[in-house]
């Protein structure tokens, strides 16, 4: 943990293998805490954590709040509908208000890419000791979701020791609305860093060809990729082809609120061609785990039967793992403040 260098968590492109290991190990420790007796650890007593969500959220926000409570932090939540946003206040001024009240960590979600980073840059320039954790920004990034996906998958492959090596050489399919998915972008950094080969699968309108270059250029703002050997990214337009040899499948919601136009007209056809159902899963070489970041649209990107099949569906694990993963992230950011 002493090697942890991140004051903010905005994106995973700057994460080293050591960083992934640290998060997975700490998550595992929090996950293994006894379920009986007091569930609270005193680790963040006296710290103030604020959720600044300018966009709706069910899972991310409530699991961060629960994670903060489990670490005994004080937690404050901002709600756009009842705030001064409607009076024209900017996200930065809103953030400044909460920092003036003493926030140590701001978890920021916004519909526009880059807002958490702009807020972080401002506080760095003014030498404020607050950490920014990106809770999802536009199409850009959703690092805590990718880290909980990573924990869930590495734990699935080796529950005794969830670690990045568990994914080396594995083939992971991500299927659906890739274009509008910040979760996929963060997962691409995390999965390829651990040596997994990712096959992206979707129709042309939701999966542009240039995704193949996603992790080939050095991450923006960095001269060098911290990962020496990343897994490969390939693209497939056919679900049958994508699922051959696969070890795990991620499926994604059609993120209509992030689409500038309606890119799909026939949802039944979409489900037939790209939906994850027991019929299409027969293309897989064996029973493989299915993940989904939520919220789910049953019968479109995933069938109810798959979603409710505990022998393959890891969605419940993703949600329950989100608490120890987010405890780990809050803990690491709070500790970085002491350095």
User: In this structure, what DSSP letter does residue 302 have?
Assistant: B
Measured from the CB atom, is 22 or 184 closer to ligand ASP?
Answer: 184
In whole angstroms, the minimum distance from the beta carbon of 115 to ligand ASP comes to 14
Structure-token match 């000791």, residue found:
129
Closest to 322 measured CA to CA, from 110, 31, 109, 39: 31
Question: What's the rounded Cα separation, in Å, for the pair 257 and 239?
Answer: 25
**Can you tell me the distance from the alpha carbon of 143 to that of 17, in angstroms, rounded to the nearest whole number?**
15
Q: Which residues contact ligand ASP (rule: CB under 6 A)?
A: 136, 142, 182-183, 253, 255, 293-294
The two structure tokens encoding residue 203: 């129709």
Q: Which is nearer to ligand ASP, 30 or 250 (CB)?
A: 250
Q: Cβ of residue 281: shortest distance to ligand ASP, in angstroms?
A: 21
CB nearer ligand ASP, residue 19 or residue 149: 149
DSSP 173: E
Indicate the residue whose CB is closest to ligand ASP. 253
CB of 92 to ligand ASP, least distance (A): 21
The least CB distance from residue 136 to ligand ASP, in Å, is 4
Pick between residue 16 and residue 112 the one whose CB is nearest to ligand ASP: 112
Nearer to ligand ASP, 8 or 253 (CB): 253
Torsion of CA 86, 143, 260, 59, to 10 degrees: -60
Instruction: State which H helix or E strand residue 236 sits in.
Output: strand 233-236
User: Looking at beta carbons only, is 85 or 319 nearer to ligand ASP?
Assistant: 319
Give the bridge partners for 107, in sequence order.
51, 133
Shortest separation between residue 133's beta carbon and ligand ASP, angstroms: 14
Contact 258, 110 (CB under 8 A): no
Task: For the CB of residue 240, give the shortest distance to ligand ASP in the complex, in Å.
Answer: 25
Structure token digits, residue 274: 């790209």
How many CB atoms are closer than 10 A to CB 161?
Answer: 13
């Amino acid at each position: 943990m002493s090697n942890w260098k991140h004051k903010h968590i905005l994106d995973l492109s700057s994460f080293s293998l050591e960083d992934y290991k640290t998060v997975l190990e700490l998550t595992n420790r929090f996950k293994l805490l006894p379920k009986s007796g007091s569930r609270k650890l005193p680790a963040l007593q006296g710290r103030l954590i604020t959720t600044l969500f300018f966009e709706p959220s069910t899972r991310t926000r409530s699991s961060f709040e629960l994670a903060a409570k489990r670490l005994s932090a004080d937690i404050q939540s901002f709600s756009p509908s009842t705030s001064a946003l409607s009076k024209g206040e900017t996200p930065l001024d809103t953030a400044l208000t909460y920092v003036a009240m003493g926030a140590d960590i701001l978890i920021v979600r916004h519909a526009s890419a880059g807002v958490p980073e702009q807020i972080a840059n401002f506080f760095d320039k003014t030498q404020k000791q607050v950490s920014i954790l990106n809770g999802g920004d536009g199409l850009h990034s959703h690092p805590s979701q990718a880290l909980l996906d990573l924990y869930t998958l590495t734990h699935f492959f080796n529950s005794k020791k969830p670690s990045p090596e568990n994914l080396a050489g594995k083939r992971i399919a991500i299927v659906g609305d890739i274009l509008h998915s910040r979760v996929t972008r963060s997962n691409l950094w995390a999965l390829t860093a651990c040596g997994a080969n990712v096959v992206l699968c979707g129709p042309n309108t939701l999966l542009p060809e240039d995704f193949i270059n996603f992790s080939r250029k050095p991450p923006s703002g960095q001269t060098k990729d911290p990962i020496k050997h990343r897994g490969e990214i390939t693209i497939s337009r056919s679900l049958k082809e994508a699922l051959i040899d696969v070890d795990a499948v991620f499926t994604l919601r059609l993120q209509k609120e992030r689409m500038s136009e309606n890119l799909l007209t026939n949802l039944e056809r979409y489900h037939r061609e790209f939906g994850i159902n027991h019929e299409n899963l027969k293309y897989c070489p064996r029973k493989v785990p299915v993940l989904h970041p939520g919220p789910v649209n049953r019968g479109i990107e995933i069938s109810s039967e798959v979603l409710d099949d505990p022998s393959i569906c890891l969605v419940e694990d993703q949600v329950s793992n989100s608490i120890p993963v987010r405890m780990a992230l809050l803990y690491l950011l709070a500790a970085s403040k002491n350095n």
